[in-house]
Structure 1
Amino acid sequence: MLRPAGLWRLCRRPWAARVPAENLGRREVTSGVSPRGSTSPRTLNIFDRDLKRKQKNWAARQPEPTKFDYLKEEVGSRIADRVYDIPRNFPLALDLGCGRGYIAQYLNKLQLFHCRKLLESFSKLTLQKMLCLHWVNDLPRALEQIHYILKPDGVFIGAMFGGDTLYELRCSLQLAETEREGGFSPHISPFTAVNDLGHLLGRAGFNTLTVDTDEIQVNYPGMFELMEDLQGMGESNCAWNRKALLHRDTMLAAAAVYREMYRNEDGSVPATYQIYYMIGWKYHESQARPAERGSATVSFGELGKINNLMPPGKKSQ
Structure 2
Amino acid sequence: MSGGLSRRVLQRLLPSGTVPAACPGSWSRVTPSCCGLQAGLRFMSGRGTMNVFNREMKKKQKNWAASLQDGHHYDYLRDEVGLRVADRVYDIARTFPLALDIGGGKSHIAEHLSKDVVERLFLTDISEKTLKQTKQSEIPTHCVLADEEFLPFKENTFDLVVSSLSLHWINDLPGALRQIQHVLKPDGVFIGAMVGGETLYELRCSLQLAETEREGGFSPHVSPYTAVTDLGNLLGQAGFSMLTVDIDEVQVHYPGIIEVMTDLQGMGESNCAWNRRMLLHRDTILAAAAVYKEMYGSEDGSIPATFEILYMIGWKPHESQAKPAKRGSATASFADLSKMGTPTDAEKS
Which TM class, normalised by the smaller chain length? 0.7 to 0.9
Determine the structure 2 residue equivalent to 1:115.
Answer: 124
In the alignment, residue 139 of structure 1 is paired with which amino acid?
L
* The one of 215, 227, 242 aligned to 1:193: 227
Q: How many angstroms does 1:272 deviate by?
A: 0.3
Give the gaps of 5 or more residues in structure 2. Answer: 1-41, 126-145, 345-349
Partner of 2:13: none
State the AA in 1 paired with 2:45: T
Aligned pairs for 1:15-94 (under 5 A) are 37-94=43-100
Identity %: 65
**Equivalences for residues 240-251 of structure 1 within 5 A:** 240-251=274-285
Q: Secondary structure at the match of 1:307?
A: coil
Contact kept? 1:215, 1:272, Cα under 8 Å = yes
1:217 aligns with 2:251: yes
TM-score in terms of structure 1 length: 0.83
For 1:114, the aligned partner's letter is L
Look up the equivalent residue of 1:74 and give its one-letter code: E
Superposition deviation, residue 119 in structure 1: 4.1
Using the alignment, how far apart are the partners of 2:226 and 2:246 within structure 1? 14
Instruction: Note the C-alpha offset of 1:185.
Output: 0.4
> Which shifted more, 104-113 or 267-276?
104-113
Shift of 1:88: 3.0
> What's 2:107 paired with?
101
Of residues 75-84 and 224-233 in structure 1, the stretch that sits farther from structure 2 once superposed is 75-84
2: CA distance, partners of 1:37 / 1:104 = 28
1:166 equivalent to 2:200? Answer yes
Q: In structure 1, how many angstroms separate the alpha carbons of the residues matched to 2:336 and 2:233?
A: 35
Other structure's SS at 2:341 match? helix
CA distance in 2, matches of 1:104, 1:49: 25
> After TM superposition, which residue ranges in structure 1, 4 or more long, deviate above 4 angstroms?
none
Q: CA deviation at 1:303?
A: 2.1
AA aligned to 2:227 is: A
What is the number of equivalent residue pairs in this alignment? 275
* Higher-RCO chain (CA-CA 8 Å, sequence separation at least 6): 1
Whole-Å separation in 2 of the counterparts to 1:309 and 1:299: 18
Using the alignment, how far apart are the partners of 1:89 and 1:149 within structure 2?
Answer: 18
| Mapped contact 1:39–1:141 kept (Cα < 8 A) | no
Q: Choose which of 160, 165, 183 in structure 2 pairs with 1:125.
A: 160
Tell me the distance in 2 between the aligned counterparts of 1:138 and 1:280.
18
3-state DSSP of counterpart to 2:198: coil
1:70 is displaced (CA, Å) by: 0.2
* Coordinate RMSD, CA, aligned: 1.6
Shift of 1:249: 0.4
